A and B are shown apart, each in its own frame.
Chain A
Amino acid sequence: MDFRQKLESKYREILTNYLADRSEQALYQGQKLSRNAIERNIPPEEIVSIHRNIMAEMFPEKFNDKMQESFDILLEVMVAYGFAYREHQNLKHIQQELRTEMEIAANVQKTLLGTEVPCKKGMDIGAISVPAKHMNGDYFNFVEDENNSVSIAIADVIGKGLPAALCMSMIKYAMDSLPENRKTPTLVLENLNRVVEQNVDLTMFITMFYGTYHIDDHIFSYASAGHEPGLFYHAETQTFSELPAKGLLLGIEKNTKYRKYEKEVMPGDMIILMSDGVTESRTKEGFIEREELLALIEKNIHLKAQNIVQNVYKELEKLQDFQLRDDFTLIILRRNVLS
């Protein structure tokens, strides 16, 4: 007996049982049968046809011509549903394939954009970056160089998902290609600005922050291309202030010049960098207030930098019901107290 015959005899059995006692048990059997039929890709019109045939067989007199003919309409309608149902099945399959492809792409991206958080004596660094979808449109990178300094880049493509991720790969490649002597913050931004201006279409904008921490004299020099402002924590007064920085987004104007800023870092001070996914974390009441973010950092301030960024992310994730609206990147650099 092939599956269709089995289905028909099972349907007959269930129908007979139901017409005899109208039990919930028979109805439940019907539901189970449908699950089975769906698994085997039996379209709805097939079931209607089985129903009609069995009725005609069981009640040759009562199930008269008019009753039978009425099923022609039902059958026709169900063919259309079957038509849509098969398309839906196939689209589900395609969606699964796309998902797999995206997961692979996300892994490729992780490898491509991967960076190690440096361990430098006298410094404590923490970083977290979480994409809203599969692919990350945020990017951060650490570079250590022989002059005993640590450079940090953080960038955000306006937009998210695949287009943003493709764009980020380009930024990473362009940055890796810069010669060593051109890696001061302003030169990096000016170079990348030209790359972006030439290679990216007009609807895509990139914000970027680039800073270099000189460990010998504890000066943090930086420049910003329209990036979300960083924060500075003064350990002595236990207060936060904004890291002032002005500059045009990357890719807007070919010959943009960027201004260099400097900040002296005292023991216990922290530099806090982020993408707008942090400040635009949204709860039911709207964007989170800056005070809320500062309070979250303060609450964890006694911890290592890596634990601070992780805890802040966890809390904000919870506040948003675990649905990130934008890629989220948060980085903290702290000058150790004993150094």
Chain B
Amino acid sequence: MDNQSCVKIINEWDIVSARQLGRNVAKELGFGTVDQARITTAISELARNIFLYAGQGQICIEKLYENGKTGLRLLSIDSGPGIKDLRQVMEDGYSTSGGLGAGLPGVKRLMDDFQIDSSPGEGTDIRAIKWLR
């Protein structure tokens, strides 16, 4: 698909590349500076989770055009250990006690739509959308 680009996350510098990619696409789609900063913060959090807990995976950015709306979809896919208790990682305050899934509820709040799938041993798949207003 030519409206999707991805960055492999292996080391910390890849987080910067993922942010750069996200920012370029967000700018291109016409997002304002505040939303650009929110999107890149969400990317940072997800990429950092891959880097810290999954070992490796990738961040993909997709342009979305649906029912006359324009949006940016953020995908975070890894084949790490996965998350056993999704309800727990989606709980505020859990990230501060250490462990998997740092800041996921925060990422959800920064974006307009958020979905997560994970199976222990197989990895985690997160999709989040920000719509242009």
Interface flag for B22 (CB, 8 Å): no
User: Pick the contact of A49 from B32, B41, B103 — CB < 8 Å?
Assistant: B32
Could you give, for residues 20-54 of chain A, a 1 whenever the CB lies within 8 Å of some chain B CB and a 0 otherwise?
Answer: 00000000000000000000000001100100100
CB within 8 Å of B: which A66-86 residues = 72, 75-76, 79-80, 83-84, 86
Take A87-B105, A87-B106 as given contacts and tell me if A46 and B34 are in contact as well, using a CB distance cutoff of 8 Å: yes
Chain B residue total in the interface (Cβ 8 A): 14
Please tell me if the beta carbons of B41 and A83 are within 8 angstroms of each other in the complex.
yes
Interface residues of B: mostly helix, strand, loop or mixed? helix
User: Which B residues are CB-close (under 8 A) to A52?
Assistant: 33
Interface flag for B38 (CB, 8 Å): yes
In whole angstroms, how far apart are the Cα atoms of A87 and B107 in the complex? 10
**B residues with CB within 8 A of A:** 32-34, 37-38, 40-41, 92-93, 103, 105-106, 109-110
Take A79-B41, A83-B110, A86-B109 as given contacts and tell me if A91 and B33 are in contact as well, using a CB distance cutoff of 8 Å: no
User: Which A residues are CB-close (under 8 A) to B110?
Assistant: 79, 83
Interface flag for A255 (CB, 8 Å): no
Please tell me if the beta carbons of B105 and A45 are within 8 angstroms of each other in the complex.
no
Interface residues of A: mostly helix, strand, loop or mixed? helix
For this complex, 7 residue pairs linking A to B, each with C-beta atoms less than 8 Å apart, are: A45-B34, A45-B38, A46-B34, A72-B33, A83-B103, A87-B93, A87-B105
In whole angstroms, how far apart are the Cα atoms of A75 and B117 in the complex? 31
User: Which B residues are CB-close (under 8 A) to A94?
Assistant: 92-93
Q: What is the distance, in angstroms, from A329's C-beta to the closest C-beta of chain B?
A: 34
Report the interface size class on chain A.
Answer: 10 to 19
Q: Which residue of A lies closest to B103 (CB)?
A: A83
Take A72-B33, A83-B110, A86-B109 as given contacts and tell me if A91 and B41 are in contact as well, using a CB distance cutoff of 8 Å: no
**A residues with CB within 8 A of B:** 45-46, 49, 52, 72, 75-76, 79-80, 83-84, 86-87, 90-91, 94
In whole angstroms, how far apart are the Cα atoms of A52 and B34 in the complex? 11
Please tell me if the beta carbons of B92 and A90 are within 8 angstroms of each other in the complex.
yes
User: Pick the contact of A91 from B32, B38, B40, B93 — CB < 8 Å?
Assistant: B93
In whole angstroms, how far apart are the Cα atoms of A322 and B32 in the complex? 53
In whole angstroms, how far apart are the Cα atoms of A61 and B106 in the complex? 38
Q: What is the distance, in angstroms, from A296's C-beta to the closest C-beta of chain B?
A: 43
Q: What is the distance, in angstroms, from B111's C-beta to the closest C-beta of chain A?
A: 12
Please tell me if the beta carbons of B92 and A91 are within 8 angstroms of each other in the complex.
yes
Q: What is the distance, in angstroms, from A91's C-beta to the closest C-beta of chain B?
A: 5
User: Which A residues are CB-close (under 8 A) to B33?
Assistant: 49, 52, 72, 75
User: Pick the contact of A86 from B32, B37, B106 — CB < 8 Å?
Assistant: B106
Closest 6 CB pairs of A and B: A79-B37, A49-B34, A79-B41, A83-B106, A90-B92, A75-B37
Take A79-B41, A83-B41, A83-B110 as given contacts and tell me if A90 and B34 are in contact as well, using a CB distance cutoff of 8 Å: no
In whole angstroms, how far apart are the Cα atoms of A46 and B35 in the complex? 10
In whole angstroms, how far apart are the Cα atoms of A86 and B92 in the complex? 10
